[in-house]
Structure formats: structure tokens, C-alpha cells
Amino acid sequence: MLRPEKMSKVSVTGSKGVMPTVIETIHGLNLVHLSDYDGSWDGFDNGSPIEGAEDASEKLVTVRALKNTLDLSEEDLDSDWRKQAVQIAAPVPNLDDEQSGSRSGSEPIQEDWRERLDEIRTQINDLDDQQSEIQEELRQVDERIDRIGPFAALGIDLGLLSGYDSVDVRVGEGPTDEIEDALEAADEVRAFETFTGGDVVAIVAAPAEDVGVADDPIGDALVGVEFTRHEIPETEEPPSDHVAALEEQRHELERELDRIDAEFEEIKHENGAFILRIEEELTIDVQRAEAPLQFATTERAFVAEGWLPTEEYERLVDTLDDAVGDSVEIEELEQASYDRHGGTHTEDVAQGTQATKGDDEEPGPEADDEQEQQKAVADGGSVVTMDDRPPTIQDNPKGAKSFETLVKAVNLPKYNELDPTVLLFLTFPFFFGFMISDVGYGVLYVLVGYYMYQSFESPGITSLGGVAMWCGAFTIFFGLLFGEVLGTHELGYMIFGDGGAPMGDKGLTPATAEFVNAWLIVAIALGVLHLNIGWILDFAENILHGHGLWGAITHSGSWLLVLNGLWIWVFTPQAAGVKPDFIYTTFDGQPFALGFSGLPLLDVFTVPAAAEVIPVIGGALAGFDVTLPLLMVLAGFVLLYLGDPVELAEFAMPFAHGVSYARMTAVLLAKGGMAFTVNLLTFGAYQTPDGYRPFAAPWNTIPEGSTEMFPGLFHMGPAEFAVGILVFIVGHILVLLLGITSAGLQGIRLEYVEFFGKFYEGGGKNYQPFGDDRNYSED
């Protein structure tokens, strides 16, 4: 549970004659994570792809291009499409069986799949070319409309805006008042007239006597004015008629695009399942054909290595034995241990039997294959691979599976370290529920999480749905303890009677402010417990797989001593004058009467008065009580120095990380305060004679002698009541969403930074077995 699945390194050795069958068999199992041969074994080289791989790769590129053009995805397939995909009878030949015309264990090959694929490609390419041409025409039409549109707004024939020798004409957009003021003040312009239509301005200006039209008098006059010029089109047609004709042309082009889109959809519907099936088959064939690139091979023999779950080793052996009999040698090279420093151990296993020839048989071509196979086994038994680290397969209970996504967001666990998924499952929803603690919000979180879990196929979204359901469940749990539903406390009195909920109040009013101190202490106590778990796990890891007992004491035990000594000392009466009083009174009557007024002094000895003879330090310490918590802190620092002196630079970490958990109380108050505000605006509030300020909900009867503080929208009239409903719904939705971001982010930060940092690094290798799950085909 806290460890990944046990992995074994296996080796398969055989003659090249059975290599295609071995590849197909291993691919079908989808179990072995192949290792890459690094070329370091004498006489062996990386293998070459199986014949036909290049052709399959080219076809696969074509199919994926068609799929991309059609924007085809798995989501497009309804149940009928999926059934159609599975029922297509083996349209793609296996590369090894292409010459024979059939695939072992499958239906006869449809010889027309290539012709059908070519027909689809031709159709799609023709439509794609048409679509590109029409889109280019449409772009040009839009540009012409953009150029002529402003002139249509003017209502002036285009022929009247050009062809003059004595006046300058300019059309554009800009502030009319500023344009006219600039022209009025310009020495280059003798007279001018402006015509406007919408935001478009047409200027006709006569230049001054010493200025010609070619000198651009209008342009000189408008320097400094924000004016966008429009080039005057060369056409005799009225602008409005020309724009109308262009608009009609654009509609025609858009109809053509709609026709092409409809044809694309028709092709997708008729051939989508076929294309996905072809892609899947070609992908599988390419994977199989290129597998020898990871093998060590000679002219006649091959050796393949890889990792698989230890419990699956026998299934691999039995399946290969059924496929090729004694033609291969299978060996379990090692079972990977959980040594923190990456060590592994090798277990002795029975050697697989090799194919042998009777004494009375004449040696033939197979003899050479067998000799090279035996040489491959004899020359070391294990091929040196590029990366010998075992991959990680997380092994967690079903309920905790959803939280693997949150762990992978940091990094996949290394094979040889603890998987914190279960710990995250046990603590993160607890923290989240404490910070929100509202039955109403909890129910909504559960419903949203259930919808995400059931309605989406994406593993990431379904995992987040599972996390949301667990967080919602703990939010309901703490909401019951606080007796809170959508910020109101009626539920507490309904369930627990006149005394209200067992956890009292969150401390949002002056009358209940002392509860804030309690939740601050609770949050820090939870944090200290959480940090203890982290360092205890690191302590155990160091003993079992790391530095031994002494290394565990100096690297982890030291921090445990400092953490616990420091926080135990905080709650002792020593130096009480510099500590806040609430740590002694909160659980001793204000507001909880639990009889806890702090921890005892736990003094070990008192520095004698004789210490005054020692200058400075001795005099200052004379009469000082040396307590057990202080000795724990001092011992922790000494062990840190002995283990790694550099770590002393982080001496304040246990205190800082403990205080960091106070953010849970901050979120608890912030979320509760927002819900309180929404209810205050909606219901209003009144103050009772004893100082309590409840909400004036419609079902409440305001006690006699109470003072109305704010009537609330629900009590101010019919129109305000309608507004109050809107404020209530929108306000609580906002609190719900902010609860996800605040409680979710703060809670996961405590896990990632404060907790994971004690024992977890990540950086594992993802388990990627050689094989493919068939979605659209049957083998």
C-alpha cells in the first residue's frame, strides 16, 4: 500500500526465427516494460525494424493526418460508431503475415482496406483544397468590404471623391471637432468642407495659393490629430451597391463552406470508425515492427530485457511457452528491492529450457540459430541496458486511487521510496473538511464530485471527482460538529438541542471570539502531528533502506526531538509571561471546560547559584530551570550537527512549519465570515438581551426585548425579497467556489511543502508496458 508493486527484471533469449512471434505475444500481454540495449555487449548490436515497418509508418502518418483534418476523436463515437469500429473485420494485415494474406488468430484480411483508405484520402484532400480556396476568397471579400464599408456610410458616390486638380480630398476616421479645428488653423488650407457618416469623415480642402494639391495640405494640417485614412476604391458603382454585392458574395462563399463542412461530417460519420480502427491497427503494427530497436541482436539470435510485476512473471512464461514452446530462454534476472539508494537483489530461478535437437538428427540451419542463442545466454545472462531503474506502478486501495493524481502533480514516486497517496487520502480531506465545515457546502461538493466521477472519461477529471467527494464527506462531518448549514447554525440546535453543536462556534462575532483561539490551537496541534508522521516515516525509511539506525537518529530523529521539544515547551508554564494567555485558558473554561491549562513544567534540574562565578553566561543562567523539552531541543541540535552541520541553518523549520498550519484557522474564519455576510445581507440580524446576535430568518420569531440590527433584504418588501433570493444564491455559490480555491490550495500546500518535504522526493519512472489496449478492434 505504501510501496509500489514488486517488479522483476526478465530476459528473453531466442533465435531470430521466432522473434516476430515473441514480439506479438509480449505485445498482446501488455505487461513488459522494455529496457533499451545500450550496445555495450560484445558481438551484439541494436536490432533493425521488421520488414514493412516503413510502409506501415507512412500509412500511419496518412491516417493521422486524415484524422486531424476531420477533427476526429474518441468523443465523436457514440455506441453505434463504437460497435461499428469493433465489428470491422481485421482490415489491416499484420506485417509479419502480409505475404500469407492472413493473421494468426484473426479473421481473413480485407484486401481492399488500402483502396478504401486512398479513396477517403482523395475525398478529404479535394475538400480540403476547396475549403482553402474558398477561405482565401472569403478573406479577400472581407478585406474589400472593410475598405468600401466606410464610404457606404458617407452616402457619397466614389466617383465624386477623386479626380480633382484644384482641391484635395481625404476620407478617414477621427474626431470631427479636432479635424475641423486643425484645418481651420492650418496655413496650408484656404477653405474646406467636411461630410460625415457614422464615424467616417470626408474632407474636401482647397489649398492656399502658394500650396499645391500634390503637397498634401490636408495631411500637413492633420499632423498631431488621430486620423485613420481610408484609400478611395477605384469603382464607378455606388458604395452601398458595391457593399451589398460583396455581402451577397460572402454569403455564397459561407454557404459553400457549410456545404464542405457537411461533407466532412458525412465522411466522418461514414468512415470515422474505420479510420480509428486503421490508426489503432497501424499503431500496433508499428510498435511491433520497431521493437527490435530495443533488443540486443546478432545475425541469428536476439536478447530482450524488461520489467514486469513480479506476480505476472509466471503468466509471461506460460504464454510464451504456449506460443513458441522451448524456442526461447526466459530468465528472471532480479527482483527489485525497495533499497532507498537503488539497490536490488537477484533471486535464483530455474533456467528456462532451450530447444534441443535429438542426437540422431542431422545438424541443419537451426543448429546455427541454437548455437548463437546459447552463446547469448552464456555471454553474461543479462544485457546491460540504458536505464536499469525499475518503473513504478502505484499500488493503493480503491478508495485512495483518486489521490494518485495529486501525488503525480508533484512527481511519480520512485520505486524505492514510500508512496504518500494513502497518507494524502487520510489527511487532505480532513484538513479541507475542517476549513469549510458546512453541511450545505459539503453536500454540494459531493454532488459535483459524483458528477465529475461518473460523467467524464478523462482519468484526471474522474480522479478529481473522487477527491471532491471525499472532501465533501469530511466537510459534512465537520459541518455537523459545528451545526452549520450554508452559514446558519439552526442544524446544531435541531440535532443537539438547546446547547447547540459540540464544537460550539467559529468565533465570528464578538460574543464568540474566544473560539478563534481554540481553532488556532487545534490547527497547530494537527500540524505538529502531521509533521511528526512525516519525520517518523523518514526515520523508518533511513533505518530500513538508508543510513542505518545512527543515520536515522541524526537525520530524522534530530528533527523529531526539536519539533516535539519546542512545541511541548510552548505549552509549559516556563516563560509564561511572554506567551499568550489563551494557550492556558482556552481549554480550561474559556470557551471549553476540558480542564487543560497547559503542560507541567517537566523540569529536570535547576542551574545552581554557584554558576554565578562563571562570567556573563553563568550569572544569567543561575537559578534557571532546565526542563525536559529544552533538553530535547538541545539534543536535537547536537544530533543535527553530528549528522550534517549544514542542516543547522534550518533550525527554525519545526516552529515555522508548525505555525504554517494556522492557515487552516484563517481559511475557516474567512469562509465562515463570507457565509455570515451573505446571510446577514439576506436575513438581517437582531441582538438579544444577553448579547447574542442571530440571523432573522423568515422562520424565526424575534424574541421580545431584542433589538433589530439590520432588517435584511427578506424583510424589506417584495422587491427586496426577490433581490435577497439572488444575493443568497449568488453569494453562496461564490463562497462555494472560493472554498475550493482557498481550502484546496492551502490544504494541498501543507501536504506538498510541509509534509512531503520530510520524506518524499519523487522522480520515478512511469510504467509503460509494451502493448496497447484495443479500443476499436478485436484480436
Alpha-carbon distances, residue 495 vs 216, 438, 441, 488, 501 (angstroms) = 87, 14, 18, 14, 8
- On the 0-12 / 13-18 / 19+ scale of CB atoms within 10 A, 458 is exposed
* Residue 21 belongs to some domain of the structure: yes
Number of continuous H segments (helices) and E segments (strands) in the chain? 23, 14
* Residue 389 belongs to some domain of the structure: no
Residue 525 and residue 643 in one domain? yes
How much is the pTM? 0.75
Residue 221 and residue 274 in one domain? no
* Residue 208 belongs to some domain of the structure: yes
Please identify, among 203, 228, 243, the residue that sits at the C-terminal boundary of a domain. Answer: 243
CB atoms closer than 10 angstroms to residue 694: 18
* Residue 156 belongs to some domain of the structure: yes
* Residue 350 belongs to some domain of the structure: yes
* Residue 777 belongs to some domain of the structure: no
Residue 206 and residue 274 in one domain? no
Residue 519 and residue 645 in one domain? yes
* Residue 689 belongs to some domain of the structure: no
Please identify, among 610, 629, 650, the residue that sits at the C-terminal boundary of a domain. Answer: 650
Q: How many residues does the chain have?
A: 779
Report the C-alpha gap between 109 and 98 in whole angstroms: 9
Residue 273 and residue 357 in one domain? yes
Report the C-alpha gap between 370 and 202 in whole angstroms: 94
Counting as low any pLDDT under 70, the low residues of the chain are 1, 74-111, 213, 234-237, 339-387, 546, 609-623, 690-693, 696-701, 773-779
In this prediction, residue 612 carries a pLDDT of 54
In this prediction, residue 775 carries a pLDDT of 65
How many structural domains does the chain have? 3
DSSP code per residue over 243-279:
HHHHHHHHHHHHHHHHHHHHHHHHHHHHHHHHHHHHH
Contact in structure between 566 and 651 (CB atoms under 8 Å): no
Residue 211 and residue 340 in one domain? no
In this prediction, residue 236 carries a pLDDT of 64
Residue 368 and residue 327 in one domain? yes
Report the C-alpha gap between 681 and 684 in whole angstroms: 6
Over residues 653-672, the pLDDT tens digits come to: 999 999 999 999 999 999 99
Contact in structure between 43 and 298 (CB atoms under 8 Å): yes
Over residues 491-507, the pLDDT tens digits come to: 887 888 877 788 888 98
Phi and psi at 332, nearest 5°, equal -90, 105
Residue 98 and residue 152 in one domain? no
Residues in Cβ contact with 306 at an 8 Å cutoff, skipping those fewer than 6 apart: 9, 10, 32, 33, 34, 35, 770
Show the domain range for 304. 7-109+266-378
Residues in Cβ contact with 777 at an 8 Å cutoff, skipping those fewer than 6 apart: 85, 86, 88, 90, 277, 280, 281
Residue 325 and residue 222 in one domain? no
In this prediction, residue 99 carries a pLDDT of 35
Please identify, among 378, 397, 424, the residue that sits at the C-terminal boundary of a domain. Answer: 378
* Residue 73 belongs to some domain of the structure: yes
Contact in structure between 627 and 604 (CB atoms under 8 Å): yes
Residue 392 has which C-alpha cell?
A: 513504478
In this prediction, residue 348 carries a pLDDT of 43
In this prediction, residue 112 carries a pLDDT of 74
Residue 99 and residue 148 in one domain? no
Residue 521 and residue 641 in one domain? yes
Alpha-carbon distances, residue 648 vs 233, 543, 634, 645 (angstroms) = 79, 22, 12, 6
Residue 230 and residue 169 in one domain? yes
What are the E-state strand segments in 650-735?
A: 685-687, 707-710
Contact in structure between 225 and 182 (CB atoms under 8 Å): yes
